[in-house]
Amino acid sequence: MSAHASLLKPDLRIRRRPRPGVGKRWLVMATLIALVTVMPVVSLIVIAVSSGASESWAHLLSTVLPEATRVTILLMLGVALVTGIVGVVTAWLTASFDFPGRRLFSWALVLPLAVPTYIAAYCVTEFLHFTGPVQTAIRQGFGYASGRDYWFPDVRSLPGAVIILSSVLYPYVFLTVRLVFLMQGRKAADVARTLGSGPGMAFVRVLLPMARPAIAVGVALALMETINDIGAVEFLGVRTLTFSVYSTWLNRGDLAGATQLALAMLVVIVGLVLLERAARRDQRYTLSRDDRASVGRHPLKAGYGLLAGLACALPIAFGFGIPAYILGDYAFRRLDQFTDAALWSALGNTGLVAGAAGLLTVLAAFMTSYGVRLTRSPTLLALVRLGTLGYAIPGTVLAIGILIPLAAFDNALDAVLRNNFGISTGLLLSGSGAAIVYACFVRFMAMGYGAMESGFAKLSPHLDHASRTLGHGPGRTLRTVLLPLMSPALLTGFMLVFVDSVKELSATILLRPFDFETLATFVYASASRSAFEDAAVAALLIVATGILPVLVLTRTILKQAR
């Protein structure tokens, strides 16, 4: 592709490790972690194959499956397109140009990440509904009496779902792509511009191809969250395949059939990911060194600056502004809830779970991805990638896959100890908060590993080679050379897992111990009896808890990359 990229070839990989056996410990550790991550998916496969092809298939094929498949594909295409465009354009604008509000936008664009999809769906619907502020203003302004007097787009529709989901999922693309633009993009763009390209041309010819792996990672995360979502699509009346997974399980009592459907969806996702990877197999972009001597951002003229500002403000308004407005409005009438001790203990639990999950997941992802980088074992790579797929499985179904092996382990351990030592450990893991942390670990490994993988990918293998030539082992190479360069990726990974764990609901609600509430379960208790407004305070706290790390860490990342 560009001159910049081809300079980095040929790729001088080390085929033999200088000290045989050194990488072995990493391989063992990485394999162990990968096995732990992949266990729930495996236990779902066991459930799925235990009963042979489910009768549900014939029923589904002859009824809702074609339509649900069509809806799901359109929803995914829509979300991929919108998150891709919004994420890349906003990342490009904030990374390459100077315009009024750029500094504000460069972190505010991440804010919608703190809003769970089901809360966004509720708030946007509420905002645009007949009784909401927008239509009320229209009626008052034009003197209409009833909803039948004028046309207004129906939010509860497929296009509505695409926009609502995208408005809170685009930050995945924004974050991953911006990192690329900041770390290497400007230099490459500068080179292109010296060679006579305008900013637009540099974007299309250099930046976009360079960002492609990052775009793929971000869009894949957005799509996996789209496919595991049930709260938002159910509320919006959009019947995806996920909806059929639940009706097969809960209304027709066919868990095996539901699992088979969920896994079939997973296979499709894997196919898409593999296709995308295959399509860019021969492209490698790495950074030889951090570039701090960039010529800086291209200032925009007033009119264009305004347009750029608008392009950045719109997604924030939709994904964050509307939910914050609606929740704030409800919460304002429920200020007394802030004195509820249960709410604050839920906040504490949320922070504890999310912090622990973030830490564990990032450490584990770091170790596995370094293990992969070091050993280049295709088996390990495949295992690790399989483990990241949990994110694409509908949450409660995955939670069943977590619950069964955990409880089986607990019961086996209890039996062994009871028989030999007379000690009963009961439900050691499945009955404690550790199960929730494990669930978040499994669900969000995709985030952690994605961040590590793209982080490592940006570091040229030459770095390892040089360090190793100087006689450093893999550990020392990691510490002195790679780790400092990896800190933005580590922070990004932690932040993504933390924020998603704060929002996590479906596994938490199934796996929690007695009298254990998180903010998300707090919200659910009200929302599940259609009293969402009573959940506004807790929902607002979810958003606030998610924002805090987003702010701290985006600033750190920006500083690192600047």
- The mark string for 215-244 relative to other proteins (x by CB under 8 A, - otherwise) is -------------------xxxx-x---xx
Query: What residues contact 390, with CB distance under 8 A and at least 6 apart?
Result: 37, 40, 41, 398, 442, 443, 445, 446
Q: From CA 361, how far away is CA 476, in angstroms rounded? A: 22
Residues in contact with other proteins, counted by CB under 8 A, come to a total of 89
Per CB under 8 A, which of residues 153..192 are in contact with other proteins? Answer: 154, 156
Q: From CA 134, how far away is CA 147, in angstroms rounded? A: 12
Per CB under 8 A, which of residues 414..433 are in contact with other proteins? Answer: 414, 426-428, 430-433
Per CB under 8 A, which of residues 18..47 are in contact with other proteins? Answer: 25-26, 29
Q: Does 359 bind other proteins (CB under 8 A)?
A: yes
Per CB under 8 A, which of residues 298..357 are in contact with other proteins? Answer: 330, 333-334, 352, 356
Question: Among all chains, which residue has been given the structure tokens 């094929």?
Answer: 61
Q: Does 202 bind other proteins (CB under 8 A)?
A: no
Per CB under 8 A, which of residues 245..264 are in contact with other proteins? Answer: 246-247, 249-253, 255
Question: Among all chains, which residue has been given the structure tokens 């280049």?
Answer: 376
315's tokens: 């997604």
Q: How far is the CB of 344 from other proteins (least distance, A)?
A: 16
SS (H, E, C) 162-216: HHHHHHHHHHHHHHHHHHHHHHHHHHHHHHHHHCCCCHHHHHHHHHHHHHHHHHH
**DSSP code of residue 300:** P
Contact segment (CB under 8 A) with other proteins among 3-11, 217-225, 268-276, 515-523 equals 515-523
Among 434, 544, 548, 551, binds other proteins (CB under 8 A): 434
Give whichever of 32 and 314 is closer to other proteins, judged by the CB atom.
32
Nearest to 520 by CA among 529, 532, 531, 509: 509
Q: How far is the CB of 103 from other proteins (least distance, A)?
A: 33
Q: Does 367 bind other proteins (CB under 8 A)?
A: yes
Angle between helices 322-332 and 536-561 in degrees, nearest 10? 140
Rounded to 5°, the CA angle 465-283-390 comes to 90
Q: How far is the CB of 424 from other proteins (least distance, A)?
A: 8
Q: Does 533 bind other proteins (CB under 8 A)?
A: yes
Q: From CA 134, how far away is CA 140, in angstroms rounded? A: 10
Q: How far is the CB of 469 from other proteins (least distance, A)?
A: 19
Give whichever of 307 and 352 is closer to other proteins, judged by the CB atom.
352
Q: How far is the CB of 321 from other proteins (least distance, A)?
A: 21
Query: What residues contact 313, with CB distance under 8 A and at least 6 apart?
Result: 101, 105
- The mark string for 111-150 relative to other proteins (x by CB under 8 A, - otherwise) is ------------------xxx--------------xxx--
Give whichever of 167 and 430 is closer to other proteins, judged by the CB atom.
430
Contact segment (CB under 8 A) with other proteins among 165-173, 205-213, 274-282, 399-407 equals 399-407
Q: Does 368 bind other proteins (CB under 8 A)?
A: no
Rounded to 10 degrees, what is the CA torsion of 187, 188, 194, 200? Answer: -110
Residue 496 · residue 448 · CB < 8 Å: yes
Per CB under 8 A, which of residues 451..470 are in contact with other proteins? Answer: none
